[in-house]
Structures are given as C-alpha cells and as structure tokens.
Structure 1
Amino acid sequence: MFMEPSSPSDMRSHILNEAARLFVIRGYDGISMREIAASCHISKPGLYYYFVDKEDLFLAILESSLEELTALISEATSQPGGTPQKLGFLIHAIFTRLPMERRALIRLAAQEMNKLSPQKRESFSSRYHATFIDGIADILRSGIQKKELRSVDPEMATWAFLGMMYPFFSATGSPRFDETAVVHFLLDTFLNGLSPQTGEQRE
C-alpha cells in the first residue's frame, strides 16, 4: 500500500535518505527507480514527481552530501589552533556527525560519478573539487606555509589523507575497530607516519 507524502519537503528528504542508503549498498546500476519507490512506500509516478530520473535523484544525493561536507570543512577551517587541530576536528566530525550511509557517500561519489552524463559530471566534479578537495588542500596549504607541516604538494597530500579514510567509508562499516580509535589513528598516522617516535624502542 502506498502512502501520500505528509509534505513535499518531508517526502523529498525521505526519498533522498532512503535512496542514498540503497545506492550505497547496491551501487548506481544495482537499483531501479521502481525499487527505490517501493522502498520509499510511494508509487513510481510519485517518485518521478520529485525527480526526473535516476540520474537526477543520484545527483541530488551527491549535492546534499557535498553540502554537508562543505559545512564541516568550513567549521574545521574556523577552529582555533593549528593544522593538527583543524584536521582532527574534521576527521572527528565526519566520523561522529555523519551516519554511516552519509560517510559512505563520500566514497560512492568518487566511484560512481562516471554514471552522470558528461555535462552534469563535469559540473558536479568542478564543485566537488572546489569545495571538498580544495577545502582540505587549503587547510594543508596553510599548515605548510606556517611550517606546521613539511613542504609537500597539498593536493597530493589531500588525496593521501582521503585515501586513508576511504576504507572506513563502507556501507557495512568497520566493526572490528572503535570509531574513536580510528579517528586518533588516522590523524596520528597522517601527521606522524608509522616510524617509531622519539623515545620508542626499535625492534
């Protein structure tokens, strides 16, 4: 039995959240609009009332995720302290303030962006880099200029930073690891590496 939306904005949010969950679990090609509609408990025509097609729905999900990430980066940039504090805030916020499905969208965007038409892919990719990638790179660039970090390519360092986090952005999560421990490990490893610290005993 299908239900009518309580309000257009509420139903749109419900569709975005449910479709995001399904895309994360099954991928862009693994789910149909009919299945998304059924999971949202609305008719297929009802789903098309809100989104023109699957590409339109997927792009809306990516845009919503990008807005969340942009807000977190903006908060991180304004944090007191140096680069370690700003990066620490960002990692902690991503792992504690974004539900698992929303974190998984970060990796999904990188993996499935090629499903968008060339024009829409180029447009979204441009915004993704300008706000998310460049936002992190700016934090690192500032740290390099202040001598808080050694001189490296900030964009390359950004991709290395994200690459360390991506394995933890899966739909099933990483049940073996406590999230607080993951946050501390990622920050410490990115900033200090795996070499023994001063005073530690080498084997």
Structure 2
Amino acid sequence: MGRGRHAGYDDQRGAILASAARLFATQGYSATSMNQVAEACGLSKATLYHYYRDKYALLFSIADTHVERLQRIAMEAGETPGTAEDKLRTLIARLVEEYADAQDEHWVLTSEVRFLEAADRRRILDREREVVAAFARSVSVLRPDLDEAALSKPLTMLLFGMVNWMFTWMKPDGALDHGAMAPLVTDLFLGGLQAVRDPRHHPTTIKETSP
C-alpha cells in the first residue's frame, strides 16, 4: 500500500504553484529553473520533485487550476438567485475579486501557455471558452436582440478586456482596490450594454464628399 499524503500536502502544492507563477510572470517560463522555484519555496529540489515532476507540470497546473477557478465562479454565479442583471453583477464582481489575488496566474495564462503541448493547450483554451460562453449567455439574457446579431460574445470579450488588464495599471497602494473597482466595472458594462445598438442599424456618420 502506498503512503498517504501528509496533512498540508495540498496547501504545499498551492504554495509551490503561487511561487512558480510569480517567477514565470516576472522572468518568463523559459528563463525559470526548478532550482529557482525550489529556492523561492524554501524547499530542496528533491522535495519540490515530490510535488511536481518537472517545470512543465508546474506550468500546466498553474494555467489549469486558474481556469478551473474561473469556471467554478461562472457556474456558482449562474446558480445564485435573482434577476439576470443580479446574476451578471455577481459574475463580474466575482471575476474581479478572483483576479485581485491571481495576477501572476493570469499573466501565465495569457502569455506562457504557448509553451504547452498542443493537447494541453487545447484543454486550457476549451475551458476558457466555457467561461466566456457563461458570460455571453448572461449578456444574451439581458439583450436577446444583441444575441441575435451575434454580439453577445464580442461584448463579453470587451468586458474581459477591461478586467484582464487592470493589473497593468492599478497600483497596490492606490486609492482604489479591486473591491472598489468591481462595482465600477459592473456599472460601466451594464450601463453601456443598454446603450449598445446593432452596428448594422447605426446611422451613417461618414458622408461622401466631392473631390
């Protein structure tokens, strides 16, 4: 019979992933060694290999775990009681809160997954698509006319564009933290969503002029 996992095994794995994500985000996956990860975790290299077989396993686990959390957020928010707007507000708030503590993981997800093998990269991308689809469904409930115009997904991607890159300009000691930003993002998106029109029906703004 194999040995059981010791108490705190999962916590240690999580701590290792967090340290590896920080290194991958700051200096890149290719430039990071297992020795550096072990040193950042305060572990021997032999102990590190007890948790993860190699650097590739770390990269995949960082990306997969992060996307799995996003999937869970989307699922749980969809099951909350309330109106369609309430559900979308919850969804956006939870997303912003998650990114507040996962900036390194998000950077790895957006910039370093290119180093994954095709099958593993496809798994991550499929999970990301499921998260986007969950948001797009919420948008389509609020504006079914935009769904008919195939705009739910593009609008969802605009929302992710707002949230995904907040960490590039938000200061850790700034006046606004992620908790304060969440309702601002939500109000901006929902307010703008109500104003969106099918571009096919927009009035022409550029008139032809004679040469």
- 1:96-136 CA-partner distances (Å, limit 9, x unpaired): 3x373414423431222212122211222122212x22221
CA contact (8 A) 2:21 2:108 kept: no
Aligned partner of 1:59 in structure 2 is 60
Equivalent position amino acid for 2:143 in 1: I
Q: What letter is aligned with 1:43?
A: S
Q: 1:33 aligns to what?
A: 34
2:115 aligns with 115
Q: Which moved more, 1:107-116 or 1:155-164?
A: 107-116
Partner residue in 1 for 2:163: 165
Summarize the Cα distance change of 1:67–1:150 in structure 2 as closer, same or farther, 3 Å threshold: same
Alignment check: 8 A CA contact 1:20 1:101 kept: no
- Does 2:128 match 1:128? yes
Which residue of the partner structure matches residue 44 of structure 1? Answer: 45
Contact 2:19 / 2:41 at 8 angstroms: preserved in 1?
Answer: yes
Residue 178 of structure 1 pairs with residue 179 of structure 2: no
Residue type of the alignment partner of 1:182: M
Gaps of at least 5 residues in structure 2 are: 1-5, 196-211
C-alpha displacement at 1:163, in angstroms?
0.2
**Is 116-125 or 98-107 further displaced after alignment?**
98-107
**In the alignment, what sits opposite 2:204?**
none
- Alpha-carbon distance in structure 1 between the residues aligned to 2:104 and 2:148: 30
The CA deviation at 1:155 is 1.5
2:82 partner letter: G
Q: Percent identity?
A: 26
Q: Which residue of 2 aligns with 1:137?
A: 136
The amino acid across from 1:55 in the alignment is Y
TM-score for the superposition, normalised by structure 2 = 0.74
Separation in 1, partners of 2:171, 2:37: 22
Q: 1:99 to 1:141 in 2, by over 3 A?
A: closer
Mapped partners of 1:171, 1:58: distance in 2: 25
1:186 CA drift (Å): 1.3
1:24 and 1:101 in contact (8 A); partners too: no
What code does the residue aligned with 1:41 have? G
Amino acid at match of 2:126: S
Distance in 1, Cα, partners of 2:39 & 2:7: 17
C-alpha separation between the residues in 2 aligned to 1:110 and 1:45? 30
Alpha carbons of structure 1 residues 104 and 140: separation in structure 2 relative to 1, 3 Å: farther
Q: Secondary structure at the match of 1:193?
A: helix
Preserved contact between residue 59 and residue 113 of structure 2 (Cα < 8 Å):
no
Q: Deviations over 1:74-114 (max 9, x none)?
A: 12112233333222212222333x37341442343122221
Deviation at residue 72 of structure 1 after TM alignment: 1.2
Residue 183 of structure 1: CA displacement?
1.6
Cα RMSD after superposing both structures: 3.0
- Number of residue-to-residue matches in the alignment: 188
- Distance in 1 between the 2:47 and 2:106 partners? 28
